[in-house]
């Protein structure tokens, strides 16, 4: 790996150390070229939608090591998107509420809207932004079923006009991308949601550059 600048501060002067390590004169960080190259490769695999298990197999790494990297990437992305939204011009040209059902909920014979993950999506400045909302307060089973049936009828009618909007396209993208994980733990859903938001908003090369910058500043 040919490295001319520090990946952490971009300073041009690096010292060569033993065992293929380098040290930056400016920020004083020491780093392994081999580990650095591996981390960059993992970032590329992540942005190419290759899951942690497959990445670990290809690179002959421990699955837990790769999965920990992936979860770190998702946390960095979530913080990045939060800052992007706060700094954006919020024209909020459109917004929509969406109910996502986990694989477990989808497999139930009777679905309740009150068990769905409630998401608000905004389309602003030509980007999608999402917020997780509290779950709907539960009522009786009969009430839950009726409300869910009402929602399905409404959503079917609404989708006729909305499925081609940026938000409508994003909801479909979200559903399709989360399928590959074969079940997302609800406590981590926020980070997978933000991963999809990030990958929907930015082209792959841009994703890689942003994530590399975030990772090396971490």
Quick one: average pLDDT of 164-187? 86
Q: Distance between CA 99 and CA 159 in Å, rounded?
A: 13
pLDDT score at 106: 66
Task: Label residue 75 exposed, middle or buried (CB < 10 Å: 0-12, 13-18, 19+).
Answer: middle
pLDDT score at 169: 92
Mention every residue, 6+ apart, whose C-beta is less than 8 A from residue 183: 102, 103, 104
Q: Distance between CA 24 and CA 196 in Å, rounded?
A: 35
Assess whether pLDDT exceeds 80 at residue 49: yes
128 against 101, higher pLDDT? 128
pLDDT score at 148: 57
Task: Label residue 171 exposed, middle or buried (CB < 10 Å: 0-12, 13-18, 19+).
Answer: buried
Measure Cα distances from 52 to 47, 57, 69, 209 in Å. Answer: 11, 9, 9, 20
Backbone angles phi, psi at 212, to 5 degrees: -60, -45
Q: Distance between CA 134 and CA 211 in Å, rounded?
A: 29
**Confidence band for 143, pLDDT divided at 50, 70 and 90:** low
Residue with tokens 């905004």: 122
**Confidence band for 146, pLDDT divided at 50, 70 and 90:** low
CB 32 within 8 A of CB 20: yes
Q: Distance between CA 98 and CA 38 in Å, rounded?
A: 38
pLDDT score at 160: 46
Assess whether pLDDT exceeds 70 at residue 2: no
pLDDT score at 186: 82
Q: Where are the beta strands (DSSP E) in 10-78?
A: 14-16, 21-24, 30-32
**Confidence band for 156, pLDDT divided at 50, 70 and 90:** very low
Residue pLDDT, tens place only, 69-96: 999 999 999 999 999 888 876 665 678 8
Assess whether pLDDT exceeds 50 at residue 66: yes
Q: What angle, rounded to 10 degrees, do the helices at 204-217 and 33-47 form?
A: 140
Structural domain boundaries in the chain = 1-87+203-217, 91-183
Q: Distance between CA 64 and CA 77 in Å, rounded?
A: 20
């Amino acid at each position: 790996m040919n490295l001319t600048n520090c990946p952490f501060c971009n300073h041009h002067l690096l010292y060569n150390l033993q065992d293929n390590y380098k040290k930056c004169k400016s920020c004083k960080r020491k780093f392994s070229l081999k580990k650095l190259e591996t981390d960059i490769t993992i970032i590329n695999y992540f942005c190419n939608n290759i899951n942690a298990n497959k990445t670990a197999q290809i690179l002959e790494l421990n699955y837990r090591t790769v999965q920990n990297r992936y979860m770190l990437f998702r946390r960095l992305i979530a913080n990045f998107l939060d800052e992007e939204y706060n700094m954006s011009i919020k024209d909020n040209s459109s917004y929509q509420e969406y109910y996502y059902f986990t694989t477990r909920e989808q497999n139930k014979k009777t679905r309740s809207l009150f068990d769905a993950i409630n998401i608000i999506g905004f389309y602003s400045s030509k980007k999608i932004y999402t917020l997780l909302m509290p779950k709907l307060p539960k009522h009786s089973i009969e009430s839950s079923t009726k409300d869910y049936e009402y929602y399905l009828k409404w959503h079917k009618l609404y989708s006729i006009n909305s499925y081609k909007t940026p938000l409508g396209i994003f909801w479909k993208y979200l559903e399709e991308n989360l399928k590959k994980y074969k079940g997302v733990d609800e406590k981590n859903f926020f980070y997978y949601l933000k991963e999809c938001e990030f990958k929907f908003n930015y082209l792959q090369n841009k994703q890689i550059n942003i994530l590399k910058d975030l990772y090396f500043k971490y």
